Amino acid sequence: MFARRAAWDLSRNPLSLAVEARRARGAEVVDLTDANPTRAGLLAGGEALARALAEVARDTAVRRYEPDPRGPRAAREAIARYHARGGREIDPERVVLTAGTSEGYAHLFRLLADPGQRVLVPRPGYPLFDFLAGLEGVETRSYPLVRRGGGFRIELDALAREAADPRVRALLAVHAHNPTGAFVHVDDAHALRALCREHGLALVSDEVFAESALEPAAEEERLASLLDPRDDAPLHFVLSGASKLLALPQLKLSWIVVAGAPALRDEAAARLEAIADTYLSVSPVLAACLPALLEARPAIEAQLRTRVRANRDELAKQVAATPCAELLPVEAGFAAILELGDPDGTAPDEEALALACVERAGVLAHPGFFFDFEDDGRARLVVSLLAEPEPFAAAARALLAVAAEACAS
C-alpha cells in the first residue's frame, strides 16, 4: 500500500516505552534530550518575537498577500546583513527563505540529486538526514568525524574516497556540528572546497549552530561561516535559521544562502526559487518579524551562552568526581557528550545504561547510537545543556550515580 520511502518501522523503541511506563506509574522523568529552549525558560527570543509581532500587526501591508517565492525582500536583506560579517557581500537575491531548516534540506536534495543519487553526511550526526534524504529518494553515505586532540575532526581520507563516487552530488558539513560541538577548521574547509571542485559537488553547510561557540573567537581563529566570497568557489549553500540562531523553533523560519561561481550560483538560485514557488510555504507575516529578531540576536545569544556555560560547568564538576566518566571537550553547541567506562576499556552497554537512567534515576538521555557514534566499545550519553540549572544539576547527579554503578558492576 505504501511507498518504500514511507515504509518506516513505527514501533516504539525500548527507551520511549520505558519513559511511558514510568510516567504511567505517576513517576517523573526529566528529559535531558529536550533541545527546545522555550521549554527551558530561555525566553529572550520569545520576548523579541512578541514585540516584533506587535510591530508587524500595526503594518497595513500584512493585510495583503503579495507572495515572493524567495521570501519578503526586507527579510532577505536582513539575512544578507547577518551573513555579511567578515567582509562578505551577500546579494539578497541569493537568499531563499524556507519553513525550517528541514525544508531547506528537502529543497536542496530536490535541486541537486535525482532518486538513487547520493549526498555525504557526517557521522556521528543529526539523525534526521536519512529521513530527509529518503523522502526525496536520495541516499546518504556517511563520512567519519573522529576524536582528535581537543575535539572531533573530519577524516579527510575517508571523505575523499566517498566523494569520488560518481553517484555523489553534494557534501554536507555541519558548522558547528551537532552533537560534537566541533567547528569545521580552516584547513578542513579548504579541503572540502577542493573535493567539491574536483568532483563537481555542491557544498552544503548547515550553520544553525554557527553562533553557539562557548568562547567567542575572532574570524582568524575559526571561521564564522564556510561562505567563501571568491568567485571561483564551488557551488555552496549555507543553511541557517531561527530555531537555533534565535532560540525560536516556533517561528518555523530558516533560509538558504546561495554562493559560488556567479553563473552557477545564479542558476541555482533561480531553480531554487522555482522549487520554493511550488510550495510558497513561508508565511510573509512571520518573515516580516525577521529584521527585528536579527537585531535582537546579541541578547538572545547571551542568554543561551550563559545557560549552556552554567550547565556545562556544573556537569564538568560532577563528572570530575565520578571515576568512570569523561566529559568530551566541545567548541560549541547546546549538547554535552559523556563517555562512560573504565580506563581498561570495559564499558556498560549503552542502551542498557540509558534504560537504567530512565528506570532508576528518572532521567532521559540520548544513548550515543542515536547519533550513530562509532561502535568502539565505549558507552556514550548525550544530554542537552538547555535545561533550567537546578533541575539540570539534580538530573545530572542522578544520571552519573546510575552510570557509576553500571561501570562498577
Nearer to ligand PLP, 97 or 233 (CB): 97
* Cα distance from N-terminal residue to C-terminal residue, the chain: 48
> 302: which 3 cell numbers?
547571551
Query: Does residue 242 contact residue 251 with C-beta atoms inside 8 Å?
Result: yes
Nearest to 240 by CA among 386, 95, 124: 95
Question: Residue 172, interface with ligand PLP (CB under 6 A)?
Answer: no
Question: Residue 126, interface with ligand PLP (CB under 6 A)?
Answer: yes
**Selected binder of ligand PLP within 19, 96, 97, 101 (CB under 6 A):** 101
The region of 25-33, 96-104, 139-147, 380-388 touching ligand PLP under the rule CB under 6 A is: 96-104
- Residues 259 and 268: their CA atoms lie apart, in Å, by 9
Question: Residue 241, interface with ligand PLP (CB under 6 A)?
Answer: yes
**Selected binder of ligand PLP within 37, 122, 249, 341 (CB under 6 A):** 249
Sign of the C-alpha dihedral, residues 329, 142, 171, 279? negative
Nearer to ligand PLP, 170 or 319 (CB): 170
**Selected binder of ligand PLP within 31, 206, 211, 350 (CB under 6 A):** 206
- Residues 287 and 227: their CA atoms lie apart, in Å, by 23
Give Cα separations from 223 to 226, 356, 374 (angstroms).
6, 40, 27
Hey, what amino acid is at 320?
Answer: A
Nearer to ligand PLP, 125 or 291 (CB): 125
DSSP 8-state secondary structure symbol assigned to residue 250: G
For residue 269, the minimal CB distance to ligand PLP (Å) is 20
Question: Residue 142, interface with ligand PLP (CB under 6 A)?
Answer: no
For residue 114, the minimal CB distance to ligand PLP (Å) is 24
For residue 175, the minimal CB distance to ligand PLP (Å) is 9
- Whose CB is nearest to ligand PLP? 101
- Residues 99 and 336: their CA atoms lie apart, in Å, by 28
The region of 18-26, 75-83, 100-108, 367-375 touching ligand PLP under the rule CB under 6 A is: 100-108
How many amino acids of this chain bind ligand PLP (CB under 6 A)?
A: 14
- Residues 289 and 48: their CA atoms lie apart, in Å, by 9
Sheet of strand 254-259: strand arrangement:
95-98, 254-259, 236-241, 202-206, 168-174, 118-123, 139-148, 151-154
Backbone angles phi, psi at 118, to 5 degrees: -125, 155
- Residues 120 and 159: their CA atoms lie apart, in Å, by 8
> 60: which 3 cell numbers?
497595513
- Residues 227 and 90: their CA atoms lie apart, in Å, by 10
For residue 239, the minimal CB distance to ligand PLP (Å) is 7
For residue 123, the minimal CB distance to ligand PLP (Å) is 13
Nearer to ligand PLP, 30 or 208 (CB): 208
Question: Residue 243, interface with ligand PLP (CB under 6 A)?
Answer: yes
Nearer to ligand PLP, 48 or 172 (CB): 172
Nearer to ligand PLP, 126 or 237 (CB): 126
Backbone angles phi, psi at 368, to 5 degrees: -55, -35
Question: Residue 311, interface with ligand PLP (CB under 6 A)?
Answer: no
Question: Residue 174, interface with ligand PLP (CB under 6 A)?
Answer: yes
**Selected binder of ligand PLP within 117, 225, 254, 322 (CB under 6 A):** 254
Give the three-state DSSP class for 329.
Answer: coil
Question: Residue 178, interface with ligand PLP (CB under 6 A)?
Answer: yes
User: Is residue 397 within a helix (H) or strand (E), and if so which, with residue range?
Assistant: helix 389-408
Chain positions contacting ligand PLP, by CB under 6 A? 35, 100-102, 126, 174, 178, 206, 208, 241, 243-244, 249, 254
